[in-house]
Structure 1
Amino acid sequence: MDGTIAQARTKLRGEAGEFHKQLVALVPKLRIQALALTRNRAAAEDLVQDAVANALAAQESFTPGTNFAAWMHRILRNRFISTLRKQRETTDIEDLPSSAFAVGAAHEDRMVLKELSKALGRLPSDQREALFMVVLQGMSYEEVAEATGCAVGTAKSRVFRARRQLQVWLAGEERSASSLPKPDERTGRRPGVQQLGA
């Protein structure tokens, strides 16, 4: 009987150690997701700390062998939503110090980064979050869908729409590409749009 209890305790210690290893390894990705959600470095750090505390408190509810990253991203997202409900306000990405975006870059590079940060801030939060998870964290669409509680097709659509909208804004166009007239089937040109070299 004592041998069975000792084996159970050893197993629990091993699972706890693995849980902590996975949690520590995932913290940088959680910071990226938190920054995408909050658009404020201090709020993102607070969000990550709260999510980690929640995960540690709910450690027994995690099933070993399942997708730990998706479980943690869900906790972080739920914590963000709870915080939003309490505060009903977020801070704009422009509140970040410029040093967060500039790393000894030329003036033009800093301007491009500033334009990009403004454009990212204009995206709907669900699109911005999906884009960050795929592009910066390297998550698959299936992992994004699981972490955000949506269908895989919805995750793909959010990333596609975010990329398309960023292209439009960064190209200096205010209207979306879908509002442009369709090209003429014979010439391939859009009516009312002047062609280069014409």
Structure 2
Amino acid sequence: MADTFHTQIVSILPKLRVQALALTRNRAQAEDLVQDAVCNALNARDSFIPGTNFAAWMHRILRNRFISDLRKQRATSDIDDVPGELLSSKADHEDRLAVKDLGYALARLPDDQREALVMVVLHGMSYQELAESTGCAVGTAKSRVFRARRQLEAWMTGELPEDDGLRQRASALRNEVDRRKMMGAATRSNGLRG
């Protein structure tokens, strides 16, 4: 089993690096995160059940390690700062600028959406595998990928503002539900009086 376990770890390293880079947005931190996740996996190899989804297990370990590290850093630094190199561009070529813009847009996505998008689009994970590795429902996984794609498209094409009306539609729906509840309560109240 040890040989198979080690072979599986080696084969998943490239995908773990991509996920770690999407989470940390820094190559050196991503490499450290992958190394820490692999160490955690090696220490916990007895808890892995052969025949189950090894990739999802490893992605979950990496994600949990990232969250643990993030909690430790939160007390000492501001994690929401966007690195300066993402805000500037030295390239003159349009393609290079587009890639930088995409990198900036990816960095702006909420962590859960960015992670979901990277795991499905770059890693080729199914929604089921994504749900297993992130500990959410399949519908939530699909929603995260959909929202990430939609927001990236809006930012990259400039066709939609950052707030494209979803809040207004949700607010209008809530108002309608509240109005109907009030009408129902008034109707019941009038029925009791009569």
Asked if the contact 1:40–1:92 (Cα under 8 Å) also holds between the matched residues in 2, the reply is no
Matched, 1:141 2:127: yes
Identify the residue that residue 174 of structure 1 maps to in structure 2.
161
Matched, 1:79 2:65: yes
Matched, 1:127 2:113: yes
* Distance in structure 2 (CA, Å) of the matches to 1:170 and 1:80: 28
TM-score computed with the length of structure 2 as normaliser: 0.77
Q: In the TM superposition, what are the counterparts of 1:24-43 in structure 2 within 5 Å?
A: 24-43=10-29
The answer for unaligned runs of 5 or more in structure 1 is 1-14, 183-198
Deviations 1:45-89 (A, max 9, x none): 000000000001111111111111111111101100110011114
Instruction: Pick closer, same or farther for the CA change 1:176–1:16 going to 2, 3 Å.
Output: same
TM-score computed with the length of structure 1 as normaliser: 0.75
1:171 CA displacement: 1.3
Q: In the TM superposition, what are the counterparts of 1:160-171 in structure 2 within 5 Å?
A: 160-171=146-157
1:177 CA displacement: 3.7
Identify the residue that residue 101 of structure 2 maps to in structure 1.
115
Matched, 1:52 2:62: no
* Distance in structure 2 (CA, Å) of the matches to 1:143 and 1:23: 17
Identity %: 68
Identify the residue that residue 157 of structure 1 maps to in structure 2.
143
Asked if the contact 2:127–2:141 (Cα under 8 Å) also holds between the matched residues in 1, the reply is yes
| SS at structure 2 position matched to 1:65 | coil
Instruction: Pick closer, same or farther for the CA change 1:151–1:181 going to 2, 3 Å.
Output: closer
Instruction: Pick closer, same or farther for the CA change 1:21–1:106 going to 2, 3 Å.
Output: farther
Instruction: Pick closer, same or farther for the CA change 1:19–1:164 going to 2, 3 Å.
Output: same
Deviations 1:86-137 (A, max 9, x none): 11144746557x9xxx9xx970001111111111111000000000000000
Q: Tell me how many residue pairs correspond in the alignment.
A: 162
* Distance in structure 2 (CA, Å) of the matches to 1:74 and 1:178: 34
1:176 CA displacement: 3.7
* Distance in structure 2 (CA, Å) of the matches to 1:42 and 1:83: 14
| SS at structure 2 position matched to 1:111 | helix
* Distance in structure 2 (CA, Å) of the matches to 1:80 and 1:129: 12
Instruction: Pick closer, same or farther for the CA change 1:113–1:64 going to 2, 3 Å.
Output: same
User: Which stretches of structure 1, 4 residues or longer, exceed 3 Å deviation after superposition?
Assistant: 89-96, 175-182
Asked if the contact 1:116–1:170 (Cα under 8 Å) also holds between the matched residues in 2, the reply is yes
* Distance in structure 1 (CA, Å) of the matches to 2:154 and 2:145: 14
Instruction: Pick closer, same or farther for the CA change 1:85–1:27 going to 2, 3 Å.
Output: same
The answer for unaligned runs of 5 or more in structure 2 is 170-194
| SS at structure 2 position matched to 1:64 | coil
